[in-house]
Amino acid sequence: MKTVRLTAAQALVRYLANQYNEHGETYIAGVWAIFGHGNVAGIGEALHGIRDELQTYRGQNEQSMAHAAIAYSKQIGRRRAMAVTSSIGPGALNMVTAAALAHVNRLPVLFIPGDIFANRGPDPVLQQIEDFGDGTMSANDCFKPVSRYFDRIMRPEQLLTALPRALRTMTDPADCGPVTLAFCQDVQAEAYDYPESFFAKKVWHQRRPEPDAQEFEAAIAALKAAKNPVIVAGGGVHFSGATATLKAFVEKHQIPVVETQAGKSALAWDHGLNFGPVGVTGAESANAVSENADLVIGVGTRFQDFTTGSWALFKNPARKILALNVQPYDSAKHEAIPLTADAKVGLEKLSKALGDHRFGAPDSGLKAQWFAKADAVTAAPTDGNALPTDMQVIGAVQRSSRDNTVVMCAAGTMPGELHQLWKAKLPLSYHMEYGFSCMGYEVAGGLGIKMAEPDRDVIVMVGDGSYMMMNSELATAVGMGLKITLVITDNRGYGCINRLQMGTGGAEFNNLYAHSNVNPISIDFAAHAASMGAVSHKVASIAELEKALDAARESTATTVIVIDTDPYPTPNAGGYWWDVAVPEVSVRPEVNTARAAYEAALKERT
């Protein structure tokens, strides 16, 4: 057996550089790195040695560079992934939030945090967490509950088993998610005689599991017995590459489609059978057909509470759930009829078995009525003196967008209103991180999207609160020459949660600057963005916003546009109940009233 002597770090990066997908691309598209004492000598030297084969990107914050890596993979349907490395201690722990985000959203990313010395010679090493009762513990153990696969590399030869397991997890459609290889810093530098065959080119094919025969029979029986089915399209439709298959299926069998946050853009907004967004942030049209459905067909959805209206939405007493999902955990939720299979394969087989069976599509007037209401709230304002609403900002961005535009967001007010109001024309033209609803994802996520699809026009919608949490990768976008456009809506605080606080009877407290112990402050976001190299504008109206957006579209520079908005208005139409527990006891009459309404709503849960 031929061997090659390499350090463990050199072996790791050489292995990663030789992993491919079935499209002929290297599976690991690059490595994001912030170096510290725990990874600079080992992993840093190894990455430098392979820099022409495996690109290294420098981030500003460990969490945000991981967000960029995650957004990259999501935008290309999990076809490729990135690795992220940090030092031990704070650098590693900064990535745990991003790992949770990837875990919830079923997205692949490889975390390689440095770890303590395996030989324990210098214990306690700088930044080491000492557990008084467990000598094997380090800060990286925090990754365990938010990793699909976790390993601690304490000997160089452990890579021979750990790396194939890591890649299998990341490329498996059911188990896909974050992998953490906690890499002891002394082991990174240790040498070993690795088999040359370990570094041979390997192609990872996308598995497409077929449905079980018994489950398939039950699914067909449920479909043929249904009178008013509805399809809930989730993110799995995109990950399976099943958007065209879904379109063909619903057209052949005349089944209405409603979309989750992750599934939005699976079907064009103006398709006659797309009844719009579903659930808490849903459209009246989508929620109406969902309430009436006797068979709820989930395709690639995990049935999050926002999708189901905290399980109060599907009101038909005869309703059943059919869950087509590649992950058995998701296909068996809430006593669903499980159909564990790849979404594309499953839809194709269901369609063939159904033959010419067609259902009666719902009244198309529901859809027309909804979009008439949506158009009204997104129209340009007639009162030029009033602060614009977030809905009007969305309308301006929509009017300025093109078919190649990707609009993205993550947390706060915008996700709900974009889900309700944005008209997504093409698949993957809507990118929302709402599985974990992680504030701070937006700027880095926009960068990741642009890296994945450089020819797309990427517009990042972000509130002032989220921008304040994490904005430093704006400088990275500028430095890399990757143009994104940020629209910052400044409502001077956390407007979304302020409204939720009021809606549950609470007093306005600690959300808007005006109601906190922080003196009201005015932050010049345009000046801040300009200091990082972006072209920036502060606009005073929707008309000025549209002009700035048109100019940004023609520019090659990263652009930031700031507009003040009213923190209170929200669409009166659409939406659904969401289970947010209200206190049983309060001195506030508003809370007591909200509690009574909450208890009444609980009785409606299906």
Asked if the structure places residue 604 within a domain, the reply is no
- The candidate with the shortest Cα–Cα distance to 302, out of 148, 166, 488, 434, is 434
Q: How confident is the model at residue 519 (pLDDT cuts 50, 70, 90)?
A: confident
pLDDT in tens, 38-58: 999 999 999 999 999 999 999
200 and 223 inside one domain: no
At 384 the pLDDT is: 74
At 383 the pLDDT is: 78
- The candidate with the shortest Cα–Cα distance to 425, out of 574, 264, 278, 254, is 264
**The pLDDT of residue 393 is above 90:** yes
Q: What is the CATH number of the domain that holds 351?
A: 3.40.50.1220
Q: How confident is the model at residue 159 (pLDDT cuts 50, 70, 90)?
A: very high
**The pLDDT of residue 72 is above 80:** yes
Query: The tokens of 471 are what?
Result: 């904005």
**The pLDDT of residue 605 is above 90:** no
At 521 the pLDDT is: 82
Torsion sign (Cα): 89, 474, 436, 105: negative
pLDDT in tens, 551-583: 999 999 999 999 999 999 999 899 999 999 999
pLDDT in tens, 161-178: 999 999 999 999 999 999
418 and 493 inside one domain: yes
DSSP readout, 382-393?
S-TTSPPPHHHH
**The pLDDT of residue 520 is above 80:** no
Q: Which residues form the domain of 510?
A: 379-564
357 and 385 inside one domain: no
199 and 320 inside one domain: no
Asked if the structure places residue 589 within a domain, the reply is no
283 and 404 inside one domain: no
Partners of 113 in the beta sheet?
86
Alpha-carbon torsion, ordered 32, 33, 34, 35, to 10 deg = 180
Asked if the structure places residue 123 within a domain, the reply is yes
Non-local (6+) Cβ contacts of 459 within 8 A are 397, 401, 405, 406, 407, 408, 484, 485, 486, 487, 549
Asked if the structure places residue 341 within a domain, the reply is yes
240 and 144 inside one domain: no
310 and 280 inside one domain: yes
Q: What's this model's pTM, rounded to 2 decimal places?
A: 0.97
Q: How confident is the model at residue 518 (pLDDT cuts 50, 70, 90)?
A: confident
Asked if the structure places residue 597 within a domain, the reply is no
Q: How confident is the model at residue 122 (pLDDT cuts 50, 70, 90)?
A: very high
At 3 the pLDDT is: 98
**The pLDDT of residue 606 is above 80:** no
**The pLDDT of residue 385 is above 80:** no
Which of 309, 332, 366 is the last residue before a domain boundary? 366
Percent of the chain with pLDDT over 90: 96
DSSP-derived 3-state class of residue 470 = coil
327 and 409 inside one domain: no
**The pLDDT of residue 16 is above 90:** yes
384 and 261 inside one domain: no
Cα 301 to Cα 165, 235, 282, 308, distances in angstroms: 26, 6, 15, 11
Q: What is the CATH number of the domain that holds 154?
A: 3.40.50.970
At 503 the pLDDT is: 95
| Domains of the chain: total | 3
At 362 the pLDDT is: 86
Non-local (6+) Cβ contacts of 36 within 8 A are 86, 87, 88, 89, 91, 114
Rounded CA-CA distance 275/87 in Å is 48
At 119 the pLDDT is: 96
404 and 329 inside one domain: no
Q: How confident is the model at residue 258 (pLDDT cuts 50, 70, 90)?
A: very high
Q: Provide the 10 A C-beta neighbour count for residue 212.
A: 14
Which of 338, 366, 394 is the last residue before a domain boundary? 366
At 364 the pLDDT is: 86
296 and 335 inside one domain: yes
Asked if the structure places residue 297 within a domain, the reply is yes
In terms of phi and psi (left: phi > 0; alpha: psi -120 to 50; beta: otherwise), the region of 356 is: alpha
The upper half-sphere exposure of residue 525, i.e. CA atoms within 13 Å in the direction of its Cβ, equals 28
Which of 143, 175, 204 is the last residue before a domain boundary? 204
At 604 the pLDDT is: 83
pLDDT in tens, 260-317: 999 999 999 999 999 999 999 999 999 999 999 999 999 999 999 999 999 999 999 9
Mean residue pLDDT of the chain comes to 96
165 and 240 inside one domain: no
